[in-house]
Every structure is written in structure tokens, then in C-alpha cells.
Amino acid sequence: MIICIDVGNSNIKYAVFDGDEPRFTFRVATDLKKTSDEYGAQLITMLQINEVEKGEISGGIISSVVPSLDYTIVHMLNVYFGIQPKQIAPGLRTGLRMRADNAREVGADRIVNNVSALRKYGTKRPIVVVDFGTATTFNILKDGEFIGGVIAPGIKGSLDSLVSGTAKLPRVEIVAPKSVIATNTVTNMQAGIVFGFAGLVEYIIKRIGRELGETPMTIATGGFSEIIAKETKCIDVIDKMLTLNGLKYLYDLNCSEEGK
């Protein structure tokens, strides 16, 4: 079995693959203060709950946008599982062509999402991958190449900023209210966050299509993808496993290269 780990600013997502199929997935909050022992105990507990022995894990791969946690997670896998994981970093083969001023600046999660989207959805038409994570990222693919993107504020971060920057606004659940014409503080805030981000996505996708000269296929992933997708018609597919499936593909790709 192979473990795939996506370390994000807000959450760490895990998937254990048995062959090509995920045996189970789970996520935990990203915590910079946790030690490798704490992360190891947490992971072993989840394996036990899902009836997987730690000795069954034979390899792993990590995508991380939190450099300060890289050593912690790698060390945890070294000590508790006896494996040296592959990492999404320069030198790892991805097969992704990139039109970027500095390819090293492109986040590991974006690289994995792009590779995964091209592999699963093909290259017949342009693709935009929208990842609703700590940041809202738009990744534009054309003819099998990453040609650029957009980075916007994240949904949760925007709400946190609104609450922390005001004296009387409460923290609210991120759900769509029944109407954009809201009648109390909570639904006013929900309308602004959910419908506001739906409008942001619609405009950016429309603008991308205009600059490309054709309407792209839009794939949404990340924690808030379903909430926003319900409020707009520009999202074609919701793929919550895009990153983790991409990691498994890249693990297999690099193992096959090493075997040659």
C-alpha cells in the first residue's frame, strides 16, 4: 500500500492506496507545533481504525506548500514506517510542461492538480482547475501545457479577515442563504461570502475563456468546491480526489522510471 500526503496551509490530506484504488482518506488540521511523533501517532490511529497494519505501507509521496513541516512529515514516515517518501520538488519527474517566468515558484499542489487533470480529462480542450483551498487558485491548461493562472483570496481566510477586522460581526457557517437579499447579519455575511466568490469564479472563468478564444472545461476541487459549484453554471466537474489521485500517479510514474 502507498500513502499519499497533501500538506496544505489549513489541512493535511491523507490517502492510502491499495493498488490503484484508495483504501481510505482522511484530513487533519495543519498544526506547525505538532511533532513528528504526534503526527505519527495520529496516522497510526487512523490506520488501525481502517484495519491497516503499518507494515503494509511500502512507500509514500508528499506534496507540501508548508516548508516548515516538510522535515516533520518526512521524519515521521522514516521513523514510524521505515520509508523514504518521494516529494514534489525539482528533480521529480512530472511530465508537465509549464509556461512560467519561474517554474520553481509554482506550488507543489498546483503542479499535482495540473498533472492529475491532464491525465484524467485529456487535452482536447483547455482546462481550468479551480482549487478552493486556503487560497483560491485557477490553473489554466492548454494543449497539455500549464500556461498560467490566477491566485485569489481563500473563502475561509476572507471570512476570518472580515470577522477579525470588525467589532460586531460574528463567525458564521459558510453556506448559501436562501436569497442574496439577506435580512439579518448572519445571512448578509453568508450571501457576501458564497455569492461573492461564485461571482468571482464566474468572472475569472469568463475572462479566461475570452482570452483563450474558447470556453474551457472547469474542474473544481478543494473543501468549498461543492458550495460554490451549486451557485454557478461555469463549473463542469467537482473532483475532490484530484490532488491525491495525482500524487498516486506521480509516485507510480517515478517508480517506473527508477526501475528502467
* Distance of alpha carbon 243 from alpha carbon 112, whole angstroms: 6
Catalytically annotated residues = 109
* Distance of alpha carbon 129 from alpha carbon 112, whole angstroms: 11
Q: 9-38: buried (b, 16+ CB within 10 Å) or exposed (e) per residue? A: bbbbbbbbbeeeebbebeeeebeeebebee
